[in-house]
């Protein structure tokens, strides 16, 4: 018999079907027994009647979270969740779970929730929870929305290497490893190679893949490995063009979420609010929030600034533009009339930075000068500088942290909980 997903059972009343999934709950009421089964689409109640003695007795040998197949009749039952249940006729245990689960799949009402580190130790069980399944449905649909936008806008996807012969970007916070007879590094981002694609004449590219940061951070917003979604576009006039492109991309992603798994989500209106870094600091100081970082925003400042903008505009997003050159990498383009400022931005969403972007410097001599100013060894990045030696269009792009986006979309306390298998300073397993 062909398997039926639980979400489709409402159309099968009066029919015999077969479903497969995990056993979520077991209840014995003497002459009748119930189990609740769960698959990736939902849950359903199964009833076992005493007159079917063989099947009735099998329930005694089934443990919570075992994987079973049930054949039976779908019957209307107003008292059952969803208004129907399955009367079991045959049960096959596909995989029996050990009794005594290390963590519960269903938390007891009024009980203490399981600590996050313990849940992450048993991640494959933790992710059986319905609310955790939603996290990855959001990831999936958000990416589908982004991909559809990229496809409709004639972007090309490129696949950049994680292994690099020299430290990327700043040269700090990189993982070193032995690569045969020499050292290699795990890429902090696909930035250099996105820019190379512009020198190739690709014009519009996107990248989705892992990035690595050897930062000894223990916050709810940092990991040592995470998924990055990046794009880069050519023939722009300024970083404003990049911001407008990102706005359209996010609208497409949020629209997809609204159509599929999150009907209650608010699709952001365009244009997003924009405020310069200087103005942001002035607003924060006026509000009595002083972060202590001259060229950056603390987490507290990001939260307060987002609150102020939300109160003023009703918008959950806000661009922070015109960052000081001291706070930005050497490849960010600077204003001709004020080289102390860069044509760059961060995007905050609900009080958290979720993207960083800029217009890139595409002029070879200017790049060399800015790299020297930052104290970078030119020899170590010469391969990158060569991308701009033989003609390269003006371009810019962003790096997006989808884990942070999902974290804030679903109001999850930590980006680690919004990640399938998080990696941080202390965690390398499972």
Asked if residue 49 and residue 153 are part of one domain, the reply reads no
Q: Give the whole-angstrom CA distance, residue 30 versus residue 168.
A: 67
State mean pLDDT over 393-414: 97
State mean pLDDT over 224-246: 98
CA–CA distances in Å: residue 405 to residues 41, 65, 139, 221, 417 = 24, 31, 9, 11, 12
Q: What is the pLDDT of residue 172?
A: 65
Determine, yes or no, domain membership for 176.
yes
CATH number, domain containing residue 173 = 3.30.930.10
Q: What is the pLDDT of residue 54?
A: 86
pLDDT at residue 53 tops 80: yes
Domain coverage including residue 382: 130-409
Q: What average pLDDT does the structure give for the chain?
A: 94
State mean pLDDT over 317-338: 97
Strands 32-39, 42-49: pairing kind: antiparallel
pLDDT at residue 52 tops 90: no
Determine, yes or no, domain membership for 370.
yes
Of 41, 72, 95, which closes a domain?
A: 95
Contact 403, 221 (CB under 8 A): no
Q: What percent helix, strand, coil does the chain show, rounded to 5?
A: 30, 30, 40
Confidence of residue 109 (pLDDT cuts 50, 70, 90): confident
Which is higher by pLDDT, 29 or 192? Answer: 192
Range with the lowest mean pLDDT among 108-122, 243-257, 273-287, 367-381? 108-122
Q: What is the pLDDT of residue 163?
A: 95
CATH number, domain containing residue 13 = 2.40.50.140
- What contacts 108, CB < 8 A, 6 or more positions away? none
Confidence of residue 171 (pLDDT cuts 50, 70, 90): low
Asked if residue 351 and residue 239 are part of one domain, the reply reads yes
Asked if residue 243 and residue 164 are part of one domain, the reply reads yes
Asked if residue 355 and residue 288 are part of one domain, the reply reads yes
Asked if residue 208 and residue 262 are part of one domain, the reply reads yes
State mean pLDDT over 119-145: 96
Confidence of residue 24 (pLDDT cuts 50, 70, 90): very high
CA nearest to 192, candidates 242, 152, 148, 158: 158
Of 69, 95, 121, which closes a domain?
A: 95
Asked if residue 134 and residue 79 are part of one domain, the reply reads no
Q: Give the whole-angstrom CA distance, residue 186 versus residue 286.
A: 42
Contact 121, 430 (CB under 8 A): yes
Asked if residue 81 and residue 167 are part of one domain, the reply reads no
Determine, yes or no, domain membership for 104.
no
Confidence of residue 383 (pLDDT cuts 50, 70, 90): very high
Determine, yes or no, domain membership for 125.
no
pLDDT digits (tens, 9 = 90+) for 63-78: 999 999 999 999 998 8
Determine, yes or no, domain membership for 121.
no
pLDDT at residue 169 tops 80: no
pLDDT digits (tens, 9 = 90+) for 314-324: 999 999 999 99
pTM of the model: 0.93
Determine, yes or no, domain membership for 14.
yes
Asked if residue 205 and residue 65 are part of one domain, the reply reads no
State mean pLDDT over 351-376: 96
Contact 20, 39 (CB under 8 A): yes
Q: Give the whole-angstrom CA distance, residue 64 versus residue 98.
A: 8
Range with the lowest mean pLDDT among 151-165, 213-227, 329-343? 213-227
Share of the chain above pLDDT 90, in %: 86
Asked if residue 373 and residue 260 are part of one domain, the reply reads yes
State mean pLDDT over 195-210: 98
Asked if residue 149 and residue 56 are part of one domain, the reply reads no
Determine, yes or no, domain membership for 117.
no
Determine, yes or no, domain membership for 1.
no
Asked if residue 214 and residue 322 are part of one domain, the reply reads yes
Counted domains in the chain: 2
Asked if residue 155 and residue 91 are part of one domain, the reply reads no
């Amino acid at each position: 018999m062909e398997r039926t997903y639980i979400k489709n059972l409402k159309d099968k009343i009066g029919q015999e079907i077969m479903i497969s999934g995990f056993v979520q709950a077991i209840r014995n009421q003497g002459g009748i027994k119930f189990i609740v089964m769960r698959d990736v689409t939902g849950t359903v109640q199964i009833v076992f009647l005493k007159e079917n003695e063989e099947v009735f007795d099998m329930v005694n040998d089934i443990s919570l979270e075992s994987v079973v197949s049930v054949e039976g009749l779908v019957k209307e039952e107003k008292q059952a969740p969803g208004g129907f249940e399955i009367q079991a006729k045959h049960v096959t245990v596909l995989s029996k779970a050990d009794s005594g689960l290390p963590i519960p799949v269903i938390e007891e009402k009024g009980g203490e929730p399981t600590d996050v580190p313990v849940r992450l130790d048993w991640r494959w069980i933790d992710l059986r929870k319905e609310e955790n399944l939603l996290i990855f449905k959001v990831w999936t649909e958000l990416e589908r929305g982004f991909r559809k936008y990229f496809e409709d806008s004639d972007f090309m996807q490129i696949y950049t290497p994680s292994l690099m012969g020299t430290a990327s970007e700043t040269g700090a916070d990189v993982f070193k490893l032995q690569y045969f007879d020499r050292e290699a590094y795990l890429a902090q981002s696909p930035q250099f190679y996105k820019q190379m694609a512009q020198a190739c004449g690709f014009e519009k590219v996107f990248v989705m893949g892992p990035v690595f940061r050897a930062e000894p951070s223990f916050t709810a917003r940092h990991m040592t490995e995470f998924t990055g979604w990046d794009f880069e576009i050519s023939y722009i006039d300024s970083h404003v063009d990049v911001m407008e492109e990102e706005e359209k991309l996010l609208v497409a992603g949020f629209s997809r979420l609204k159509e599929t798994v999150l009907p209650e989500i608010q699709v952001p209106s365009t244009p997003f609010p924009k405020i310069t870094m200087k103005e942001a600091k002035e607003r924060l100081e006026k509000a009595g929030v002083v972060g202590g970082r001259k060229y950056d925003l603390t987490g507290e400042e990001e939260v307060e600034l987002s609150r102020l903008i939300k109160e003023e505009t009703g918008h959950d997003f806000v661009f922070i533009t015109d960052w000081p050159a001291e706070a930005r990498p050497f490849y960010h383009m600077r204003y001709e009339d004020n080289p102390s400022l860069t044509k760059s931005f961060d995007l905050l969403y609900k009080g958290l930075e979720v993207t960083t972007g800029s217009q890139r410097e595409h002029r070879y001599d200017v790049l060399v000068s800015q790299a020297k100013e930052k104290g970078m060894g030119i020899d170590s990045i010469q391969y990158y500088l060569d991308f701009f030696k033989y003609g390269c269009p003006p371009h810019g792009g962003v790096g997006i942290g989808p884990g942070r986006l999902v974290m804030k979309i679903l109001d999850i306390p930590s980006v680690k909980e919004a990640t399938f298998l998080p990696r941080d300073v202390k965690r390398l397993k499972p």
